[in-house]
A and B are shown apart, each in its own frame.
Chain A
Amino acid sequence: MEKFIKLDGLVAPLDRANVDTDAIIPKQFLKSIKRSGFGPNAFDEWRYMDQGEPGQDNSKRPKNPNFVLNQARYQGASILLARSNFGCGSSREHAPWALQDFGFRAILAESFADIFYNNCFKNGLLPIVLPKVEMDALFGLTEHSPGYRLTVDLAAQRIVRPDGHAIPFDVDPFRKECLLNGWDDIGLTLRHAEKIREFEARRRAEQPWLFS
């Protein structure tokens, strides 16, 4: 997994609540058996005027000029602002894959859906929960200051605005360590292989019906 330590990036706003994973990456693109290449179809139904299908040349499709992420000023953004319950719905990890492939490395929102939140950490994408008052301010600043950037410092657990205002955020210590070091979860867990085997043997002896 790619490490996440500190990010200085352009900010893009997506000012709506309950953005679901069907909107982030529609189902027709889940037929891929790969982990990459989902970026051009992120937010497909909002982003393009025509209907998206796998295998199209996306550069030739008509874009929706009203969709915020299509605006020239937000091209190259790596930090996304969102509202409450971002990533609700399906467990598809294709959603964080698509956002990351699109160019995002951090998502700031009032709240996230559980499974999506968890999936982000497995892919070096940092989801950060901020209070509504901070999010309101960030949405305002981003809209009124073209080229608005933020610094996300995971080690220090704070976001720094260009005006110097620092916003602290919470993150589980274990997840933070994994992101800072780019650690592979599976490798970490397998350090406990002996414990898992002991647990399994005990469980098999006590409740053999769970093992057939």
Chain B
Amino acid sequence: MARTLYEKLWDSHVVHVEDDGTALLYIDRHLVHEVTSPQAFEGLKLAGRKLWRVSSIVATADHNTPTSHWEQGITDPVSRQQVETLDANIRETGALAYFPFKDKRQGIVHVVGPENGATLPGMTVVCGDSHTSTHGAFACLAHGIGTSEVEHVMATQCLLQKKSKTLLVRFNGTVGAGVTAKDLVLALIGRIGTAGGTGYAIEFGGSAVRGLSMEGRMTVCNMAIEAGARVGFVAVDDTTIAYLKGRGFAPRGDDWDKAVACWRTLVSDADAKFDAVVDIDAASIVPQVTWGTSPEMVTGIDGSVPAPEDFKDPVKSEGVARALQYMGLTPRMRIDQIAIDKVFIGSCTNSRIEDLRAAAAVAKGRRIAANVKLALVVPGSGLIKEQAEAEGLDKIFVAAGFEWRQPGCSMCLAMNDDRLNPGERCASTSNRNFEGRQGAGGRTHLVSPAMAAAAAIAGHFADVRQLS
């Protein structure tokens, strides 16, 4: 019988099924970071249990680590304790790979996994982080999990799961110049809402997705969770295979050929049935900017801020009113007239080499506007930082007035010192514009890297397509 990619991935990992359909899924790769693992390691220890398979673990410190003054170490004692706890736990249990603070390959866990070939097609991948969906770009079943589940996977190598419904999102046609993977996924969330994908596993397809690089596909899958879907993925094609060849943990020699043959089957069968299908005309998408406190509160750069009365549902209307008040915006204000205070280019959504190149192309030969107090560029990993420096991107950013930082999660969630002060407005390439996400009282607008750079130069949101 014809199967979707989700069904193939699911079927190949089922160890046991309970009467009500709850399944035990075998987990191939477990990514670990400092914030959601300490309680799991402790629980394991208290129960006298051992790690089921050490070679499934790839760990790094990313959420708390500073992005400047590395010579001083981690000065915040609470953050330092969390990072040192991870060091100690990994020392005790072992791992396939550990990239600690200051290691050359350290970085954001969802950047580090793929770039080292630790994320391979057909894997189940878990991590105590909702943006684990990123790894779906490699046709993985990649779930963000809670800390109890982290402990469960450590102890049993399995995850308890109920099967999701399947949703195919097809981005048809070709995107226009200046329109990126970030714009595709923001436009989707604007259309189906932040709960639109709840209960579904999303397969992203269509010619515009096929045309994306692996970096772009990771950006799209990364934000599946912002559409409510715990997993999002893209089928394997030549782009996937070309990306993986020669990466650290990717197979070599005979194993490579066998693996490729296996990976080629990781596509939905032509006549497979999905529970729902959403078709989007990629050519009609313009660069996107969020205006509210939920990723679904988004519009094009040519649009304007809505008014609460535009929404009939009273809960929604009140939500919009509250969002506009929090964001300090007035109804009908044009998006390109919103001035910004800070810029953040980074996060597991948009900190890969392609993102940095896109932002640098805009910044090259220009200066950030006088009203922009801080413009941060935070590469996703040490390897990306090194590559960007080899390409001279760091010099372009610094010449334009940006700060070039060390890798980490940084101002996406502001667990370190990189944050917004109350009332500050930021053009951010991250994934969440929730109240207080980038610092208490901070105002976040989600955009692509090119659009963030354009905003930095103009001092307000600006259409990157008109800048060059």
Chain A positions within 8 Å of B, measured between CB atoms, are 15-18, 20, 22-23, 26-28, 30-35, 45, 51-52, 54-55, 83-85, 88-93, 96, 111, 113-115, 118-119, 122-123, 172-175, 185-186, 189-190, 192-193, 195-196, 199-200, 203, 207-212
Contacts of A55 in B (CB 8 A): 78
In the complex, A153→B272 CA distance in Å?
41
Give min CB distance, A110 to chain B, whole Å.
Answer: 9
Contact yes or no, B249 A212, CB < 8 A = yes
Task: Give residues of chain B (193-241) contacting chain A, Cβ–Cβ below 8 Å.
Answer: 194-195, 198-199, 225, 228-230
Q: Given that A85-B198, A89-B130, A91-B130 are known contacts, is A196 also in contact with B151, CB under 8 Å in the complex? A: no
Q: In the complex, A15 Cα to B250 Cα: how many Å?
A: 49
Q: State which of A17, A52, A83, A93 has its C-beta within 8 Å of the C-beta of B146.
A: A93
Residues of A within 8 A of B52 (CB): 196
Question: From A175, which residue of chain B is reached at the shortest CB distance?
Answer: B22
Query: Is the Cβ of A113 less than 8 Å from the Cβ of B228?
Result: yes
Contacts of B82 in A (CB 8 A): 31, 33
Residues of B within 8 A of A32 (CB): 78
- Since A31-B79, A172-B162, A173-B20 are in contact, a sample of 4 more A-B pairs with Cβ atoms closer than 8 Å, ordered by chain A residue number, is A28-B415, A88-B194, A196-B156, A196-B158
Q: Are B435 and A22 in contact (CB under 8 A)?
A: yes
* Bound-complex Cα distance A28 to B251 (A): 40
B172 within 8 A of A: no
Task: For the complex, give the distance between the alpha carbons of A28 and B437 in Å.
Answer: 10
The complex places the Cα of A207 from the Cα of B15 at a distance, in Å, of: 16
Q: Do the beta carbons of A115 and B230 come within 8 Å of each other? A: yes
**Which of A111, A175, A195, A212 makes the CB contact (< 8 A) with B15?**
A195
Known: A51-B440, A209-B251. A113 touches B15 (CB 8 A): no
Which A residues lie within 8 Å of B173 (CB)?
none
Bound CA span A85–B193, Å: 10
CB distance A189 to B440 under 8 Å? no
Residue B101 at the chain A interface, CB threshold 8 Å:
no
* Interface: B380 (CB within 8 A): no
Roughly how many angstroms separate A20 CA and B195 CA in the complex, as a whole number? 12
A27 partner, pick from B47, B145, B229, B414, beta carbons under 8 A: B414
Q: Does the CB pair A114–B228 fall under 8 Å?
A: yes
| Cα–Cα, bound, A88→B297 (Å) | 15
B100-138 interface (Cβ within 8 A of A): 120, 122-123, 128-130, 132
**Once the chains are docked, how many angstroms separate the CA of A196 from the CA of B14?**
10
What number of B residues sit within 8 Å (CB to CB) of A? 81
* Contact (Cβ within 8 A) A26 B436: yes
A15 CA to B47 CA, complexed, in Å: 40
Which A-chain residue is minimally distant from B12 (CB atoms)? A203
A residues in contact with B414, CB < 8 Å: 27
Closest CB-CB distance, B390 to chain A, in whole Å? Answer: 29
Q: What are some 19 contacts across the A-B interface (CB < 8 A)?
A: A16-B315, A20-B434, A31-B82, A35-B39, A45-B440, A51-B422, A55-B78, A84-B195, A90-B413, A174-B20, A174-B22, A175-B22, A185-B152, A186-B151, A192-B158, A195-B16, A196-B26, A203-B26, A203-B28
Contact assessment for A91 and B145 in the assembled complex, using a CB-CB cutoff below 8 Å = yes
Q: Which residues of A contact B35 (CB under 8 A)?
A: 30-31, 92
Q: How far is the CB of B317 from chain A (nearest CB, A)?
A: 11
Question: Given that A115-B230, A122-B146, A174-B20 are known contacts, is A186 also in contact with B26, CB under 8 Å in the complex?
Answer: no
Shortest Cβ-Cβ A-B pairs, 6 listed: A209-B251, A122-B148, A93-B146, A119-B146, A33-B38, A91-B130
B85 touches A33 (CB 8 A): yes
Given the contacts A45-B440, A115-B144, A186 and B16 also touching, CB distance less than 8 Å: no
A23 and B230 in contact, given A54-B78, A113-B198, A185-B152 (Cβ under 8 angstroms): no
- A90 near B47 with CB under 8 A, answer no
Is B169 an interface residue, CB under 8 A from the partner?
no
* Complex interface: chain A residues within 8 A of B63 (CB): 30
